[in-house]
Structure 1
Amino acid sequence: MIQRHTFDFLKDLVENNNREWFQENKDRYESARENVIDFTGEWLGLMKKIDPGINENLDPKKCVMRIYRDIRFSKNKTPYKNNFGVSIPAKGSRAGGAEYFLHIAPGNSFIAGGYWMPEAAHLKAIRQEIDYNADDLKKIIDADEFVKLFGEFRKQEQLKSVPREYSVDNENIELLKLKSFVAFHQIKDEELYEKDVAAKIATICSKIYPLNVFINNALV
């Protein structure tokens, strides 16, 4: 489970997002990070039983994303993220395909999966897979349990115009216009404090698993 001190650290970081405060509270950061790594290890162990594509030797530490922001090209110059992010690639050990993602932030925690903003070549391949096998995708995203957990898949950000490879009268044009292919489920802070939360999150991810298989099949 995620400890309350981890959320306390993140709440204080929101109010004190500067290098001086962070250095003075480095021990709190390290303690929070270790909590997230330990949780990731538990979650990862459960996920390997659900998704055989996950690298058996994947290190939980490598799944926890850096808290340091790249501010070189950003107007927001705060040096640290106000959250912990955990990414489990659905195939192999590197990003660049479907994944399971946990965002830990006070009042804004969520579990997500799929592929957010694919690069051009991957986007083209996913659209082609949708064009060829849309019925397979629709069976996944239109299932009652999927909709209950993640909402309407087609309501993600779409292109304003039709992709040039496809016609406006394509019966699956709403899916082909998508920029991302993500299932998203909000999690309350209190849920992350529960001892069995890793199992609950893994169960949610089991409903994302078929979507990740569809996406990664497109990228083969």
Structure 2
Amino acid sequence: MAKAHFTPALFDFLRELTDNNERTWFEANKKRYEKDVREPMLAFITDFAPRLSGLTPHCIASAKKVGGSMFRPNRDVRFSNDKSPYKTHCGAHFTHIRAKDVHAPGFYLGLEVDKVMVGTGIWQPDTPSLAKIRDAIVADPKDWELCISGDFAKNFEVRGERLKNAPKGYDKAHPLVETLKLKDFVGYRNLTEADACKASFIDDYTALCRAAVPFNRFLSRSLGLEF
């Protein structure tokens, strides 16, 4: 019988970290972090890798402890008023192989207290990339609407930061003007802790990623990338 990758112990650790977000506590509980958070996520990434390659050969699932798909637990506090040293969530980003060179879409998994988030798409693309995506939507609105319908629409909500008005150079009366106002093109799906702790979660996550392939393919092609 398949065994769950994630257990309530992961969320228990994150709950306690939320109340004790300081280096002394984290160092005292580092073995718990490694056993209950890091190792389960790295195991998930390892097992997800062949599934991801079956969806697209252009995204990466790397289980390296440093520089892989899993985000580091440390926060970058240089420009933040909140100096809490650690993230109170555990996340992994399955990036496009070109992501180091250009803005590119991918898949995301985030585990935090009382919420599990599945994300897909491209977050905060630069101005030229954003223009390419908008131009692709204007050039082929039917293809765009097809990509965000069906299984994708059943499982994800497209949202993100949005301009108040139509972007400069685009028709404010365009039927998809609300979409063109988006500054992020990301699909979100919220799940629960209980969902993540199921033995079937890796299958469920894979199915969600599969539903998002047409969405990511559209974004990739608009940026001149394969998917």
Q: How does the TM-score come out when normalised to structure 2?
A: 0.89
**2:86 equivalent in structure 1:** 80
**1:64 equivalent in structure 2:** 70
Distance 1:185 1:172 in 2: 22
**1:117 equivalent in structure 2:** 124
Letter in 2 for 1:176: L
Which aligned pairs between 1:165-180 and structure 2 lie closer than 5 A? 165-180=169-184
Tell me the percent identity: 28
2:195 aligned residue (149, 169, 191) = 191
- What is the CA-CA distance between 1:59 and the residue it aligns to? 2.1
Distance 2:125 2:99 in 1: 17
Distance 1:116 1:182 in 2: 6
- What is the CA-CA distance between 1:60 and the residue it aligns to? 2.0
Letter in 2 for 1:52: P
Q: Aligned Cα RMSD in Å?
A: 1.6
SS in 1 for 2:91: strand
More moved, 3-12 vs 159-168 = 3-12
- What is the CA-CA distance between 1:91 and the residue it aligns to? 4.0
In structure 2, do the counterparts of structure 1 residues 93 and 123 end up closer, same or farther at CA, with 3 Å as the change threshold? closer
Distance 2:171 2:56 in 1: 35
The structure richer in helix per residue is 1
Number of aligned positions between the proteins: 215
SS in 1 for 2:71: coil
Residues 157-183 of structure 1, C-alpha deviations (whole Å, 9 max, x = no match): 320011112121222212211111111
- In the TM superposition, structure 1's runs of 4+ consecutive aligned residues that sit over 3 Å from their partners are 90-95
Letter in 1 for 2:130: L
Matched, 1:16 2:20: yes
Distance 2:43 2:186 in 1: 26
Matched, 1:134 2:134: no
More moved, 9-18 vs 37-46 = 37-46
Distance 2:121 2:168 in 1: 24
Task: Report if the CA contact (8 A) 1:51-1:90 is conserved.
Answer: no
SS in 1 for 2:140: helix
Letter in 2 for 1:78: S
Letter in 2 for 1:162: A
Task: Report if the CA contact (8 A) 2:116-2:193 is conserved.
Answer: yes
SS in 1 for 2:212: helix
- What is the CA-CA distance between 1:149 and the residue it aligns to? 1.2
Q: How does the TM-score come out when normalised to structure 1?
A: 0.91
